[in-house]
Amino acid sequence: MRTKVTKAIFPVAGLGTRFLPATKSVPKEIMTLVDRPLVQYAIDEARAAGIKEFIFVTSRGKGALEDYFDNAPQLEAELRKKGKTELLEILKSTNMDSGEIAYMRQHKPLGLGHAVWCARRLIANEPFAVILPDDVIAAEKPCLAQMVEAFEETQSNIVAAMEVPDHMTGAYGILDVKDDMGTIVSTKGMIEKPGPGLAPSNLAVIGRYILTPTVLQKLNRKEAGAGGEIQLTDAIDAARESGEEVYGYRFQGQRFDCGSKAGFLQATVAFALARADLRDDLWNYISDVVHSEKAAQ
Ligand code: UTP
């Protein structure tokens, strides 16, 4: 029988040090691309892929995240009173139903693999998705929905993958490709943050995964890997070593690394330019900046 993916883990317990001092009090995942927090893009993508249970792995200082998903009755009443129906609808669309969202606490930032392991009891014995909200993907068909479709065929581990230049391979988990079938590749290994000259390919894993419960079992070992952290990549590769398939999936769409300042700024411009209400003003501003920069050179 083919299994469906209905649960997703959102690991959001990292320290977000690249955004200090902002992340001293604001969780990175609450920072906004135009007017929506990163986490809203992640939830919308998960929903579009058929996810019904949303499991957040949080940490100290992430209270704003839990508040964000609560209903806001006072605000709603105020908007209703003022007849601001459009805003009211936007606000209501962010509400989560009771029971569809759960929070687990990761008490120490021991790594992404450890964060996923913290949610193991809520996953039990089913395949599950993992979404890193700081990887934002602009795509006609949302990335996770593309992967869920592939999973319906493979019923095996699938990681989102994209080509990166040689000098960037050390920043990612890199796939050792067995068979390249185009959109999908099968793998014979996976190395987290390979040192110079050690990357087996240029195909990097980014923050979308569909995994089997075997990966959670492998995480039980709590073995530290690259950077002294418990790495999700290592557990996925251990599942492969024990006989499961691990596929890389070349998704359609543009990925923005919103965990970095440059990526966040690029995403802000791209998402604002895609909005009819902002496009013209922003475009005129950018054109002016480019002209004055050129004139000054
Ligand atoms: P990052 O490597 O981006 O780390 O984590 P970070 O702490 O969020 O940010 P920087 O590097 O200090 O700026 C990738 C994802 O894994 C989660 C993060 O929340 C992010 O979604 N994560 C990482 C955890 O949930 N727990 C961890 O122990 C580590």
Question: At residue 63, does pLDDT exceed 90?
Answer: no
Structure tokens at 43: 């939830």
> How many Å lie between the centroid of ligand 1 and the Cα of residue 12?
7
pLDDT 10s digits, 33-49? 999 999 999 999 999 99
Which atom of ligand 1 is the closest one to the Cα of 230? 28
pLDDT 10s digits, 172-217? 999 999 999 999 999 999 998 998 889 999 999 999 999 999 999 9
Q: Give domain limits for the chain.
A: 7-257, 260-297
Could you tell me how far CA 181 lies from the centroid of its own chain? 25
Residue 156: name the closest of 122, 113, 127, 191 by CA.
127
| Domain 7-257, CATH number (from 3.40.980.10, 3.30.830.10, 3.90.550.10, 3.40.30.10) | 3.90.550.10
> How many Å lie between the centroid of ligand 1 and the Cα of residue 115?
9
Which atom of ligand 1 is the closest one to the Cα of 134? 21
> How many Å lie between the centroid of ligand 1 and the Cα of residue 290?
34
| Structure confidence at residue 1 (pLDDT) | 64
- Protein residues whose CB sits closer than 6 Å to any atom of ligand 1: 11-18, 28, 57, 106, 109-112, 114-115, 132, 134, 259
More confident residue, 266 or 63: 266
Residue 175: name the closest of 207, 201, 214 by CA.
201
Which pTM was predicted? Answer: 0.94
